[in-house]
Structure 1
Amino acid sequence: MTLPDSHAGHPGTSAIAALSRRAMVTLPVAAVAAGQMTSAAAQPAAAQGGGRAARTVAYVGSRTTAEREGEGKGIEVYEVGPHGTGWTLLQTVELDNPTFLAVDHTRRFLYAVHGDFTYASAYRIDPDTGRLTALGTQETGGRNPAHLAVDPSNRFLVVANHSSGSVATLPLRKDGSLGPVADLLSLPGEPGPHRTDQTGSKPHQVPFSPDGRFIVVPDKGLDRIFTLALDATSGKLSLGPVPSVATREMAGPRHIAFHPRRPFAYTIDELRSTVTVYRRTGRGALEAVQILSSTESTMTGDSRGGEIAVSPDGRFVYASNRGGAGDSSPGGPEPDTLGVFAVSAGTGMLRPVGWTSTEGIRPRFFCFGPDGHRLFAANERSHTIVPFDVDRTSGTLRRTGEVVETGSPVCVLFVRLDHRGA
């Protein structure tokens, strides 16, 4: 494994203890244009022309602060082999809590939000190696930015300020850096009944709808899913024609994933550990048609939903369950799980297929690999990324035997480098 480079991040970055890790492991994805930053499946397949094979890199964001019991260092950059069968560490960018990552549509720039802080940061991607060069930071107009997305016009970064109940837009400059906040929209509504997690608006994600017309915002604090419109010229935000849909009381909608071809959407509801099925109707509206548990019927302990994704072929939905409360001691709770659900092609409704241990603790994030044949679970508290082979017929998951050891992983983003614009 190659030795990493590093550079300082935002002022206040602290040194983190060195981590042990295995040299060979497997690749992740991140961003889900479906659920949704960008999933590797959303990346173009290979370099066009020139005869140069595209290289794939994986960017891993982590928790780093003592308040979050973080053991990460910042953003780690890995080169990964075909199908994500081996990783080589290329670079470590040391900074605080880069908890979600996204790339712009040219794949020349990478952006990060910094959980529990008040800013986002920008980086230039080296087109040959994937290494990152810092382009600076910008305040997001709120606290604890939890998610981000680049708008379809590639002009603005949209950010969910989780702890202050707002959505912000920041201009993307020609050099890839971020401009000051263009607009800041507070989300209206009454808090849900949960005494600690629903004290006010808590937007948790800001993906664009598949047609790019709306930003869809699950709000854990208000038990609502908002639909926002963006003026791609000014960056101005407004509520959509159907501003929001209410969820079940104390559901705590966290993330949403869209079917790749049909008008269906699925949320993971953090507080109730449920999956809600929605039919997407005109003007960006969502109509709930089914709610089912994200955990096994024999699960009697506490659990919180983490992530949700639809398989690239649209046949299965996957949801992560965080039931171990971070306890990885011998004799502690069983490892957390990934639920697998079959999708009805006609109605979009779900049927449980089964549950698989993530072989770790607190899977805050998971994603599919670039070809959709593998799924990668990021176990925040056991400090591993665990790959699974996906059975395309049954949807079931099987351990590959590989493990990526890395401190407190909470997001993985795959990028194929095809040297466009280099």
Structure 2
Amino acid sequence: MTQFAYVGCRTTRARNARGEGISVYKIDPRTAGWSLIQVLRTEENPSFLALHPTLDILYSVHGDLDLVTSYSILPDGRIAPAGRQSTRGRNPVHLALDLTGRWLVVANYRTDSVVSLPADDGGALGAVADLCEMKGTLGPHKVEQNYGRPHHAPFSPSGKWVVVPEKGNDRITVLRLDAASGRLGIVHHVSCRENAGPRHIAFHPSLPKAYVINELDSTVTTYDFDDQAGTLTGIDVVSALPRCFCGNSRASEIEISADGRHLYTSNRGHNSITTFSIDGDGQLTPGHFTPSQGETPRFFAIAPDQRHLYVANEDSDTIVPFQRHGDGSLTPAADVIRVGSPTSMVFRDATRTASA
């Protein structure tokens, strides 16, 4: 099945970036090759993207600004600007829609807040409905933990909770979103290891487990996740780096395969993707460390067909396709995609777009 890939990037001199805007690619179902069909020049740093679950709408936050934008997805896969709203905070780094598509939640990294914005029946965003300040005790790293730095705000699989790793506070906070008003309420905090720098979280598809990639110490923490109460309990910590690596590295992204058998993380510095196997109890065992074939793998994503994993190497301006094998290992596949300073990507079926 033909698919489209939408790629966000950084664009500004302040970020030493070479991106131009949101890039749209058509993916050939036979060869897995990517063909560029559009580069839409947007407001600066369209750094993280999200698709509406049912409508032909793409959303983006814009790093270093206070802005979230929306785009109509046209029948040929291209996009056109549709709207914009303030996030009431600086440097929004992540956004997620609830399961109904009625609320968008955004993490404001620089000003330590999470906000909710309403989306109408057509996907258009309204002004911020609520702002939840993420006040906490800063960690010991004087440069990377000088403010709270909420970095991720996904919904739990049930849609009941918004779970926010706070890199600067060495803490994870669970929020409840009121579906009527958009009000955000804190229901749970869990403290992390000092100087861990929790960045992103992934939920197991069938077990009551969640896994957090810790940026500063390059580890993965496994949590028991109680979806009824919205609580996390840490049970295990493993390194995302090989024992023989003695240099500096910062962990970045985390994702679990759809079958729940493998977990992947990215390492900026070691410039690799780590593959962990997941046993029947949810325990992690590191298995493979695959070079990312580029510099600074800030982001990666498993394709919807689960056969490929695409790595966005921000500082070498490439997206590298890897084939996934039964044991979770990765091998380079197809041609490298050249794109300036890539930082995120999302995938969409062409049949869904054609039905717009």
Q: Which amino acid aligns with 1:142?
A: G
Give the Cα separation in 2 of the matches to 1:350 and 1:133. Answer: 42
- Give the secondary structure class of the aligned counterpart of 1:67: helix
1:410 paired to 2:355: no
| Aligned partners of 1:254 and 1:268 also within 8 Å | yes
Q: How far off its partner does 1:176 sit?
A: 2.6
Residue in 1 aligned with 2:163? 216
Q: Which structure 1 residue ranges, 5 or more long, are not aligned?
A: 1-53, 325-335
List structure 1 segments (4+ residues) > 4 angstroms apart after TM superposition: none
Q: 1:203 aligns with which of 150, 160, 174?
A: 150
- Which AA in structure 1 matches 2:238? L
Question: Which residue pairs with 2:203 in the alignment?
Answer: 258
Aligned to 1:386: 320
Query: Structure 1 residue aligned with 2:330, among 392, 397, 404?
Result: 397
Identity of matched residues, %: 45
Q: State which drifts further: 55-64 or 160-169.
A: 55-64
* TM-score, L = length of structure 1: 0.82
1:234-273 matches, within 5 Å, as 234-240=181-187, 243-273=188-218
Cα 1:84–1:60 shift into 2, 3 Å: farther
SS in structure 2 opposite 1:160?
strand
Instruction: Using the TM superposition, give the Cα deviation of residue 90 of structure 1 relative to its aligned residue in structure 2, in angstroms.
Output: 1.3
2:127 is aligned to 180
Q: Tell me what 1:77 maps to.
A: 24
**Cα distance per residue 1:128-153 (max 9 Å; x no partner):** 21111111211001000000001112
1:274-323 per-position Cα deviation (integer Å, ceiling 9, x unaligned):
11111112411111111111111111111000100111110111110001
Distance 1:389 1:118 in 2: 37
Distance 2:140 2:353 in 1: 51
Q: Which amino acid aligns with 1:260?
A: P
Matching residue's letter, 1:116: D
CA contact (8 A) 2:58 2:70 kept: yes
Amino acid across the alignment from 2:312: A
C-alpha offsets along residues 20-68 of structure 1, whole Å, 9 cap, x if unaligned? xxxxxxxxxxxxxxxxxxxxxxxxxxxxxxxxxx641100001100111
Greater alpha carbon shift after TM alignment, 171-180 vs 302-311: 171-180
Aligned length, in residue pairs: 353
**One-letter code aligned to 2:190:** V
Partner of 2:272: 337
**CA–CA separation in structure 1 for the residues paired with 2:30 and 2:346:** 14
Paired residue secondary structure (2:220): strand
Q: Does the CA-based 8 Å contact 1:124-1:176 persist in structure 2?
A: no
Q: 2:294 aligns with which of 360, 372, 385?
A: 360
TM-aligned CA deviation for residue 268 of structure 1:
0.8
2:241 to 295, 314, 338: 295
How far 1:87 moved relative to its partner?
1.4
Q: Report how far residue 173 of structure 1 moved.
A: 2.7
Q: 1:420 to 1:77 in 2, by over 3 A?
A: closer
Cα distance change of structure 1 residues 209 and 406 upon mapping to structure 2, 3 Å threshold: same
Q: Which residue of 1 aligns with 2:257?
A: 311
Give the Cα–Cα distance (whole angstroms) in 2 for the partners of residues 165 and 67 of structure 1. Answer: 21
Which position in structure 2 is the counterpart of 1:369? Answer: 303
Unaligned runs of 5+ in 2: none
Shift of 1:419: 4.8
Q: Deviations over 1:384-420 (max 9, x none)?
A: 101111112x111111152111111110110113258
SS of equivalent to 1:283: coil
Q: Report the AA paired with residue 209 of structure 1.
A: S
Aligned to 1:67: 14
* CA drift at 1:104: 0.9
Q: Is the 8 A contact 2:205 2:259 kept in 1?
A: yes
**Deviating more after overlay: 129-138 vs 84-93:** 84-93
2:51 to 103, 107, 122: 103
Separation (CA, whole Å) in 2 of partners of 1:119 and 1:380: 22
Aligned-partner Cα distance in 1 for 2:244–2:334: 27
1:153 to 73, 96, 100: 100
Contact conserved, 1:147 with 1:204, CA < 8 A, in 2? yes
Q: Distance in 2 between matches of 1:403 and 1:105?
A: 29
SS across alignment from 1:381: helix
Distance in 1 between residues matched to 2:219 and 2:284, nearest whole Å: 12
The C-alpha deviation readout for 1:141-191, integer Å capped at 9, x for no partner, is 100000000111211110000010000111113333221110000012111
Pair 262,224 (structure 1): closer, same or farther in 2 beyond 3 Å: same
Match of 1:225 among 172, 177, 186: 172
Q: Secondary structure at the match of 1:320?
A: strand
Supply the AA of the counterpart residue of 1:343. Answer: I
Match of 2:76 among 115, 126, 129: 129
CA distance in 1, matches of 2:31, 2:249: 30
What is the rounded CA distance, in whole Å, between the counterparts of 2:241 and 2:315 in structure 1? 19
